Chains A and B, each alone.
Chain A
Amino acid sequence: MTSATFPPSPPENTSWSRYFGFNTDAKVIGIQYIVTAFFFFLIGGLLAMIIRGELITPAADLVDRTVYNGIYTMHGTIMLFLFIFPVLNGLNNLLIPTMIGAPDMAFPRLNAVAFWLVPIFGALLIGSFFVPGGPAYSGWWSYPPVSTQNPLGHFINGQGLWITAVALSGVSSIMGALNFVTTILRMRAPGMGFFRMPVFCWTALAAQSLQLIGLPALTGGAVMLLMDLSFGTSFYQPEGGGDPVLYQHFFWFYSHPAVYVIILPVFGIFSELFPVYSRKPLFGYVYVCLASFIIVALGLVVWVHHMFPSGVAQWMRNFFMFSTMLIAVPTGVKVFAWLGTIWRGKLRLTTPMLFCLGGLFNFVFAGITGIMLATVPVDIHVSNTYFVVGHFHYVIYGAAVMGIFAAIYHWFPKFIGRMPYEGLGKVHFLFTFVGANLNFLPMHPLGLMGMPRRVSSYDPEFAFWNVLASLGAFLLGVSIIPFLLNMVSSWVRGPKAPHNPWNAIGLEWLLPSPPPEDNFGEHVPTVIARPYGYGTGEPLVEHQAEIENQLTLQEASA
């Protein structure tokens, strides 16, 4: 390797127009995914504001009851299929090729097609607000028989559009998963064996394997649901010999692992960021990597815990209660590894680190309520109450979304080439952390008291906690303002980012900020050590000092 040709020069074309077309560069697609996801995040968030606005008083006085049903259904669907999955695929697109030293994804065109399906099914889903009868109203899990009702008799109806959109989302995600798995398996830098791979790539591999195994089952189940709704079959209709519980099996066989698809990459983000901001190697690297795949294996056999009250056999309840509790073990391994990493480290409380710490705190809380919910008697007691809503919002907003914000602040300088503002970032963190806890903590006492989910009016005895939750939700709504302000203003006129502003170790930090289109091109450095060698002074790749000198010189001359 000659360091004269390395590092590659920064990209020349930075025109805005490439973000609006069919582009096959993973870094462009990554940003397309993330920006699109946040567009839908605002829509889903607006719906959440309407929900909490309705629930601030016991009476159903803000929106009509049927409209309310459509709103919570669309809130859940948009947040999962149009926000969380696309935003994570965006991070995968940005991080996987640069972290493993690949020039692009294995199938760049397939990658672009997978992205462009997102706005298409997004438009279908949002469009369902404008069809006669309004959007789907059967909740984000769309159980039959509610989801197979078509009272107005239109062939194009909200529920039909919902199923089509979810099936298209599945196609898009399978295309993405195929691409990510092939890229990680076949395009790693020389010297990067599996046990030299960053944990984010391990967790991405684990999560995307789950997509490949789980999604086809949901797609199959959704096809059958659509046929019941629109073509008169009776797969899920007891009067035709069908079984509504069969749909629940299909749905949760995917949608429980979907939680791990969401949280595993966030575990990856925690594992990347805690070492950087604690200046210590990741504690128990090998165990953290392996725990991801134990979570995958166990995550595939826990789905019936969503169906304890659905009339499943007692042996199933026992088995799935046990397997669900077992999953706390590999998850606990990870939590202890992060604590071991932070322990006596030189902590730097930057915005990404604050989001990680907050996310970890919320995750542990969600884990505790998760174990409670795994217990059959507790689950049956709080089934369909706000306890469940509180639990999964702690997981998804409290842990996953906060981890995603951490990742955005951490890797923003790398892929945009400018530094985000710390002050605005910390305000964003404070509002998010306080808002999330104020919003979702009161849901637990509400659930234990017996307040059912998916209702727009409730008994006045629930009013106190609901007012608190609504105030928290409005704070969360406000919290997005400093974030958007930060992103837009730092993208436009933030200070230029050096190649490694956080003193982090990893292949992506040996590239200019932003990296050129083909990343390292032909000059991929040879990896000679495990990641996270903080405080050890060991280089990660051959000729590391030369590469870094070159990058610094390049920045000085720019």
Chain B
Amino acid sequence: MSKQRAAVIGVGQTKYASTRGDVSMAGLVREAAYRALEMAGKTWADIDAVVLGKAPDFFEGVMMPEIYLAEALGCVGKPILRVHTAGSVGGSTAVVATSLVQGGIHGTVLTLGFEKQSESNAMWALSLPSPFTTSINAGAGGYFSPIIRRYMEYSGAPELIGCMVALKDRQHALNNPYAHVQDHELTFDKVVESPMLWDPIRYSETCPSSDGACAMILTDETGAEAHDGPVAWIHGTAMRSEANNYGGRNVVSPKASEDCAADVFAQAGITNPREQIDAVEMYVPFSWYEPMWLESLGFAEKGEGWRMVESGATNMVGGDLPVNCSGGVLSTNPIGASGMIRFAEAALQVMGEAGAHQVDGAKTAFGHAYGGGAQYYAMWVVGAEKP
């Protein structure tokens, strides 16, 4: 049996905020799910299965919350799968949902990623004390900043490239009403003057901590063709994982990242990603990861990614490869949803539904997520045309 075609016909997001105190976890997921159902013109009865993704359960203090959320997700009597692959989880979840359609198991699937980080202390949840090791790292920035320093030394990039990315993504976010960080007063000087947290990472170059959920409705070829509305066809999906620490690991451009990109681009028939892709939603929780991923994913030559940033190539206005028109992870970060938001925003671009942050005429878009110690990857390519 060969692979079936699959497509996105609905996207729904919640308004992202540091605290969504107006809704419970169940309310949060329903808000995103209903919006996706509305866009797809579907009801709960049309959904064959649910695939839920989120990051560690300690964030909300509820073990395997899909169990408690069974009713809220409309899946009583139906199948529900719960994916958890660290920060890449939102992307992996969408990939698993895609497989359910591509494998011919289900016709229409709801996939959803969420996090309600306000319900516990993320820093605590991520650093439960271990009696065996000494802790000197404050959060993910402590881990990723030495990698960024390696990139800076290796590439010889000017010191303020990261600040350019941070400003660009925050400005993009102003065109996305769902984005968490909406700072109309932000200037380049303010980004630069922001305090260093983990030198070379400034506060302004880090992602926020958000509450939110993102949902998509996926369907098979028959469903997509019968659908009276915009469709994003899935042209390729891939996942890769690698070990966190071994001698000879390329930590700036991990092999898993390069392999994953090569796989997904081959599936989508993409040989020159910079030419063939119209909009990129990549997982950039710390500003410097934009030039790093541009190189790793093949949008730029090794050591040259920062030049694309410097030239404005990744800007929505005037750039030839707009990156994170939604504002990206730097503007919105409900961890378990962050990857799915990248995938969903890529879909919105090729559907022509991205509103004020729409890239004109986008036909092919790329969604990207990573997690762990830059060791877990999930990616997809979506297109306006049927593959």
* B is a partner of A: no
Residues of B bordering A, CB below 8 Å: none
